[in-house]
Amino acid sequence: MALWQAGDVRARLVAAHGLGETPPEICTFKTTGDKIQDKSLREFGGKGLFTKEIEDALLSGGIDLAVHSMKDMPTVLPDGLEIACVLEREDVRDAFLSPAGSCLADLPEGAVVGTSSLRRQAQVRRMRPDFRVIEFRGNVETRLRKLSEGLADATLLAAAGLSRLGKQEHITAYIEPEEMLPAVAQGAICIETRCDDSSARALLGAINHAETAICVGAERAFLRELDGSCRTPIAGLAVLDGGVMRFRGQILTPDGTTAHETERTGPPGDGAAMGIDAAKELLALGGDGFFKVPA
């Protein structure tokens, strides 16, 4: 997935700036998050596990641009780094994959659902408390193999990722946001740079998608106010329609027994303020200890 994303950014830059004779070089990194395959990432520090090695190379000058799945990005970046570009967002929906049913509601009682996302785990448990939810780590191919081997009756993945890899044929059904609100920034790719690298920002300006940047900016403001990470079940989605932003946010307890949701509408320029205001409302509704991870 990471190689696909980097290749897509390079292709966009080549097309925008005529760099056919000197295309940007792609450097690959194996991050801590990639190396941990048999345990939950929240035991080791959360979202930053997918970015640390790449950001270290960026700060040292070893690379000039860092391409990330935006939902993997911490809301607070290291000093000296910034998100300078966001590509046009793809499908925000979660995808349901299963040989045992046509949708989550169709699975038999006691079915096993595998997912590494705490958000999805909580949402699935809320929808179907009878399910057994298990940790499902690994890249897309690994998770598809585990499903085919019968380690779970179903799994959930980001529809955008499956589409980028050309694996849509594995999707049993798409889950609409009204049924399962997606992760903050799901479906978006961002490019991180050094704050003082004006030449990189100039290159990236040609491929930045302003509407997507505004929407994920609102979602990340919401997440930042909640102090969210992959250790907390949080969902959020901002959509622009006719010059009006609609923002929806949700928090859940890890076991899915309790959830709070809220919604805001307003001008796009108020997106970050709406996200922050929504987060404050949900924090008040949840009360102290809502996000406390059970020992």
> What are the structural domains, with CATH classification, of the chain?
1-87+188-208 (3.40.190.10), 94-175 (3.40.190.10), 209-283 (3.30.160.40)
Structure tokens at 141: 């191919």
Give this prediction's pTM. Answer: 0.90
Q: For residue 202, what pLDDT band results from cuts at 50, 70 and 90? A: very high
Catalytic residues: 72
Distance CA 140, CA 125 (A): 22
Q: Average pLDDT of 51-77?
A: 92
Amino acid in the structure at residue 232: T
pLDDT value of position 46: 53
pLDDT grade for 293, boundaries at 50, 70 and 90: low
95 pLDDT exceeds 90? yes
Q: How confident is the model at residue 44 (pLDDT cuts 50, 70, 90)?
A: very low
